[in-house]
Amino acid sequence: MAVTEFSIISRYFSSLGRGEAVELGVGDDCAILHLADDQRLATSMDTLVAGVHFPDDAFPEDIGYRAVAVAASDLAAMGASPLGITVALTLPGADEFWLTTFSEGLALAVSEYSLPLIGGDTTKGPLTITVQVFGSLPSKLALLRSGAAAGEKLYVSGTLGDAAGGLAFIQEKWQPEPEYADYVMNRFYRPTARLQLGSALLGKATSAIDISDGLLADAGHIAAASGVRLTIQSACLPLSAALKSHPDENQARQWALCGGDDYELCFTLPAHFPVPEGCTYIGEVCAGEGVDCDVPVDTASGYRHF
């Protein structure tokens, strides 16, 4: 795509690059970011592959939005404040409709999450989007996976399993009630990165992770990194009205436990802290290892990438 690379960048993306920390954006060999003296850089990388992380026929606007939100979610899980993103876009060809709608979704998320686009690369090949996200953290604070201790409480933000339900709907494995169809599909395609919650938990939560692979899997990373056992009470799992409407209660619960792509935060707080707004208590931090739940887990019904 050497010939069209620069025209693509300038036409679709260079208006998305303004931000306080951006000293130099798209158009030179590197972008330049300025961090305040007492701040550190937090950064993470996420790749979405067509046919693996989203259906081949997904609407490009959804792909653009989702790529940014998924990356932003890693900042939320660290408690970091957004500075910007770079985007590597590998495309089969320079299709104008695709680029226009993709960049609209990107622009929406860039604006919503205050993540100016400061650079990237466009190449020719099978559709793949990699987003690198940049954020800032105070010099002494960060939400890590490793600080949970026995006696603390386990929480999640929002509701769980919606994205798995949305994926089941997209794959025509579940037909939700009409009033919930858009909701669950948007929970898959337009996840909400919990940046404000992440910032609010900084200095309070003892561990945090965002739920990309499913609650049990991601809670498992906290358990392993912290050297604790997490006990999840299935009756406490926050389910949306959409998931509660599922005729098979067990299926909805399995999605909440094993479904990926919700991008809610899972975190631990000392027992005396109040429940943060929009969050739900789901269990306890104990001595031991691993994650324990009071219902059998049917991994076969859990989340699968395409």
Question: Where does this chain bind a second copy (CB under 8 A)?
Answer: 2, 23-24, 27-35, 37, 40-53, 74-75, 77-78, 80, 86-88, 90, 118-121, 123-126, 128, 130, 132-135, 137, 139, 142-146, 208-210, 213, 217, 225, 260, 305
Nearer residue to a second copy within complex by CB, 75 or 239: 75
Calculate the alpha carbon distances from 72 to 45, 68, 156 in Å.
10, 6, 17
Whether 276 contacts 194, CB under 8 Å = no
Closest separation between CB of residue 35 and a second copy, Å? 6
**Residue written as token pair 């909400």:** 192
Whether 237 contacts 154, CB under 8 Å = no
Backbone dihedral angles phi then psi of residue 2, each to the nearest 5 degrees? -55, -40
Q: What does the alpha-carbon distance between residue 265 and residue 258 come to, in Å, rounded to a whole number? A: 15
Nearer residue to a second copy within complex by CB, 207 or 240: 207
Nearer residue to a second copy within complex by CB, 113 or 180: 113
Buried b (16+ CB within 10 A) or exposed e, 263-282: bbbbbbbeeeeeebeebbeb
Closest separation between CB of residue 259 and a second copy, Å? 12
Closest separation between CB of residue 31 and a second copy, Å? 6
Nearer residue to a second copy within complex by CB, 61 or 213: 213
Closest separation between CB of residue 6 and a second copy, Å? 8
Q: What does the alpha-carbon distance between residue 196 and residue 207 come to, in Å, rounded to a whole number? A: 16
Closest separation between CB of residue 139 and a second copy, Å? 8
Alpha-carbon radius of gyration of the chain: 20
Backbone dihedral angles phi then psi of residue 139, each to the nearest 5 degrees? -65, -25
Closest separation between CB of residue 241 and a second copy, Å? 29
Nearer residue to a second copy within complex by CB, 173 or 304: 304
Calculate the alpha carbon distances from 127 to 46, 51, 94, 171, 273 in Å.
14, 9, 11, 20, 45
Calculate the alpha carbon distances from 124 to 1, 40, 118, 128 in Å.
5, 34, 21, 10
Nearer residue to a second copy within complex by CB, 126 or 227: 126
Q: Three-state SS for 120?
A: strand
Q: Please measure the distance between the N-terminal and C-terminal CA atoms of the chain and give it in whole angstroms.
A: 28
Closest separation between CB of residue 26 and a second copy, Å? 11
Nearer residue to a second copy within complex by CB, 52 or 150: 52
Closest separation between CB of residue 28 and a second copy, Å? 5
Nearer residue to a second copy within complex by CB, 45 or 241: 45
